[in-house]
Amino acid sequence: MILVPDDEVIDVAKAFLGSPFHHAGRNPKVGIDCAGLIIAVGDVVGCHITGPLDYQPRGDFSAMMSELSAQLAKTDRPDNTPGNIISISSRLAAAHCAIVIDHGRIIHAIQGRGTVIDSFARYEKHIMGAWRYQHGN
C-alpha cells in the first residue's frame, strides 16, 4: 500500500477552500458536502473513491463512512496527524468527516459555511476514527 504524502493531501484540500456547501454535492464549483470534499481531494491525488448518495442530511452517516473506510487506509497515527481523514460522531453515529491540515486545524465542508478551516479541538472528543488516502484503489 502506498500512502499519499501528507503535504499533497493538505495542499489539495486547501485548494477547495471557499467551495459552496451542497448536501450530497460532488462538484466543488457547484457545491460539496463533507464526503464530497473527501472524494474530490481523493480524485486529485489519484485515490478515486466512490460512495452512496442516499444518505440524509443530519442523519446517520454510517453507510457513507463504511464506503469511505473500505477504500481508505485505516491509520493508527494520532487522530490529529496532518493528512488524516477523520470521522466525527453526532449522537454516537458517524455524521461528518474532515481532513486534518495541521495539529490544531481541520478543513471540512459544512452547511451554512461551505468549505472552511476550523479548530480541531472543537471536534476532538467526537472523533470515531482516522484514515489515509492510498494509491491504487
Instruction: For each of the domains in the chain, give its residue range(s) and CATH number, in order of start.
Output: 2-135 (3.90.1720.10)
Sign of CA dihedral 126, 58, 120, 132: positive
d(CA 88, CA 108): 11
**By C-alpha distance, which of 30, 62, 32 is closest to 13?**
32
Express each pLDDT in 63-112 by its tens digit: 766 777 788 999 988 889 999 999 888 765 667 899 999 989 999 999 99
Please state the φ and ψ torsions of residue 75, each to the nearest 5 degrees. Answer: -120, 150
Sign of CA dihedral 41, 20, 62, 103: positive
| DSSP β-bridge partners for residue 76 | none
Say what the pTM is: 0.90
